[in-house]
Amino acid sequence: MRKAIKILFVTLGLFSFCICHSQTSGYFSHNTLMNKLEYDVLIDTISGISFALDTSQQIITAINHNGDTLWQTTPSTNLNVQEYRIKNPKIVYYNFKQDEFQNNKEVIWVIFQNTQFGVIDKETGKYIMYGQD
């Protein structure tokens, strides 16, 4: 009986630790646990345009080969994106991708730490939200 009670308390203690740890870390899910980006600058080899993510991981800027800013966007504050789980979520993944919803046009795929995701048009900087997990 004592052994069963001890196992119960140890199990409850581990469960409590997991809940507390989760609450202090904010909400993260699936591949958004890691906040380390693979790239902070994407370069379109055809056009020579660089797409730079700032250090706050919220603003993407398109810069041409002369160093001129073509556009700048903050997708998380875009008018069609509502706050979800985290205020001002960071971008935890972004990369080029063929978008099947836009006739396989190459876009910048973006995933935020709050599990919202969407694409950015490389030419205009317009963000289109596709969903949230």
Sketch the domain layout of the chain as residue ranges. Answer: 28-132
Evaluate the CA torsion angle 62, 64, 69, 70 in order and state its sign. negative
CATH class of the 28-132 domain in this structure = mainly beta
Helix (H) or strand (E) holding 89: none
Find tokens 């056009």 and name the residue: 47
Predicted structure pTM score: 0.67
pLDDT, tens only, 61-84: 999 999 999 999 988 776 555 666
Q: Inform me whether the pLDDT recorded for 20 exceeds 50.
A: no
